């Protein structure tokens, strides 16, 4: 019933751009804190970006700050990650994560299936 459906991954050249999308269903989207994580082979999963329920506050990993932008469209139940100036070290599986705001009793993490982003020549 709960689904986070990602799209937009693929192969891009260094310096290129890509936009990831994550569409949520089965959840009250406007009550969710949304995040993007990534995991490269042999490495830990790391938080890339987070956007809070009303979109007013965002957090970014230092490694992507200035290059990536997280945004949300609550009317479409969708969160985006715009990735510019991509580097080979951005290569990873990218995951969408949802969690209700801290004042909700349900504090479960909900995860998307992951989408591969490969930055290479």
User: Does the pLDDT value for residue 49 go beyond 90?
Assistant: yes
Residue-wise pLDDT for 74-93, tens only, equals: 999 999 999 999 999 999 99
Would you state the structure tokens that stand for residue 82, as one six-digit string?
Answer: 């715009």
Would the CA dihedral through 22, 75, 83, 39 be positive or negative? negative
DSSP type of residue 55: S
Alpha-carbon gap, residue 58 to 65, rounded angstroms: 11
CB within 8 Å of 44: residues ≥ 6 apart: none
Q: What is the mean pLDDT of residues 51-61?
A: 93
User: Does the pLDDT value for residue 54 go beyond 90?
Assistant: no
Q: Report yes or no: 45 and 32 within 8 Å, Cβ to Cβ.
A: no
The predicted pLDDT at position 1 comes to 82
């Amino acid at each position: 019933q709960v689904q986070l459906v990602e799209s937009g991954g693929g192969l891009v050249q260094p310096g290129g751009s890509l936009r990831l999308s994550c569409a949520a269903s089965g959840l009250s989207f406007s009550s969710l804190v949304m995040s993007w994580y990534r995991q490269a082979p042999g490495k830990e999963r790391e938080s890339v970006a987070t956007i809070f329920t009303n979109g007013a506050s965002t957090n970014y990993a230092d490694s992507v700050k200035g290059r990536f932008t997280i945004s949300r469209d609550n009317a479409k139940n969708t969160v985006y990650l715009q990735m510019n100036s991509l580097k080979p070290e951005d290569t990873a599986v990218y995951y969408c994560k949802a969690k209700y705001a801290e004042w909700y009793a349900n504090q479960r993490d909900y995860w998307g299936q992951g989408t591969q982003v490969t930055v290479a020549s």
